[in-house]
Amino acid sequence: MPKLPKLPRVNPVRKRLADGTIKEYRYLGRAKGAVPLCTDDADALIASYSEAQARKITPPAGVRVLSDLVRMFESSTDFTVKLSPRSQADYRKQFKPINAEFGDLPLAKLPQARGMFKEWRDEIAERSLRQADAAWVALQRVLSWALDRQLITMNPCTKGGRLYSGSRADKIWTPEQETIFLGGVARPLCKAYMGAVWTGQRQGDLLALKGFNYDGQHIRLKQSKGGARVTVPVAAPLKAMLDAEPRRPDQHIFLNSDGEPWTANGFSSSWRKACKRLGITGVTFHDLRGTFVTRAFIMGATEAEIATVTGHSLRAVREILDKHYFHRDPALAENLFRKIGQGTESANQAANRLDWRPQERAKT
């Protein structure tokens, strides 16, 4: 018997024939509604499977090729509401090559497309493993959404695995890098650095903070990734900076050199240029989360206390990378900041050296 692929909702049934041999049949579904499939070879099985599924699912008029699914997903609430603006931009970046490569692929051909998709990912992987994973995840997300809405019969990108296995768990800012950065940038980037290294929050959540998020003692926010609500006690170095530049409840706390809210691209560009100018390599803004976790742990904070503030899981606190989130208790966060006290020497020196009295903002 030829080796046949496994397909969703396809059930094998073995029967003994009159001559004593065993033959395996395959059916889509079970019981009375089961549809017999052709088992002559893999291609025949897939063709009959697609035909049987097509009888049950008929996409709306005008939805015939893969690019139609991409377009529908981009206009759905799963994309426009559930994803952050940064995630939307990242997905759109991946949709362009997907549409260029497979935009005219008929939906009826999807059950046979896994091998083709894998070859495409392998081609991208020759240039970048991370980009290959990002492209695969974007395609998988679209097809998963379409399958859930019965626009297609199966998702050929399930369980594709990851090619890139690197982690930034060991990437933290050193006291030397911190001193160089804080001493070489203007007020807006310096304030952003201190905000990140003293709260452990992501760039998007930090730049979105407004006056109502800060009550003089704590920063309270709902994280965009995962939706966790966290309460961060504000330590003395950061508090001095925030209190020196009070904000109205509706005004952003972190502003650029023109006194306007940072855009994601504008901030990333300014940060990257500053690091290049100062010769700081090997670390990014994102690594300030790991720096916060590492410093807090060294100062005696427990993993649970750190997870309460950063929104990480216990495992992520250990690895600075995971997806299972820990219960957050504000009391643990208070205990964390009692333990770390005044924090690292370099951060305090930088805070004392800088004059945070309201004055005309320096240009970055």
Among 134, 165, 196, the domain-final residue is 165
In the prediction, which pLDDT does 356 show? 55
CB 231 within 8 A of CB 341: no
Q: Mark whether 202 and 316 lie in a shared domain.
A: yes
Residue 130 covered by a domain: yes
Q: Mark whether 46 and 109 lie in a shared domain.
A: no
Q: Mark whether 141 and 223 lie in a shared domain.
A: no
Residue 347 covered by a domain: yes
Give dist(CA 94, CA 346) in Å, integer. Answer: 41
CB 328 within 8 A of CB 305: no
How many domains are there within the chain?
Answer: 3
Give dist(CA 157, CA 94) in Å, integer. Answer: 15
Among 112, 142, 165, the domain-final residue is 165
Give dist(CA 105, CA 103) in Å, integer. Answer: 6
pLDDT per residue over 237-264, tens digit each? Answer: 999 999 999 999 999 999 999 999 999 8
Please give the DSSP secondary-structure letter assigned to residue 112. Answer: G
Q: Mark whether 22 and 94 lie in a shared domain.
A: no
Among 109, 142, 165, the domain-final residue is 165
Domain that holds residue 212: 175-353
Residue 200 covered by a domain: yes
Give dist(CA 349, CA 109) in Å, integer. Answer: 63
With a cut of 50, say whether residue 322 has pLDDT above it.
no
In the prediction, which pLDDT does 137 show? 95
In the prediction, which pLDDT does 187 show? 93
pLDDT per residue over 147-194, tens digit each? Answer: 888 888 889 999 888 887 766 666 789 889 999 999 999 999 999 999
Give dist(CA 70, CA 105) in Å, integer. Answer: 12
Q: Mark whether 109 and 126 lie in a shared domain.
A: yes
Residue 358 covered by a domain: no
Q: Mark whether 139 and 226 lie in a shared domain.
A: no
For the domain that residue 63 is a member of, what is the CATH number?
1.10.150.130
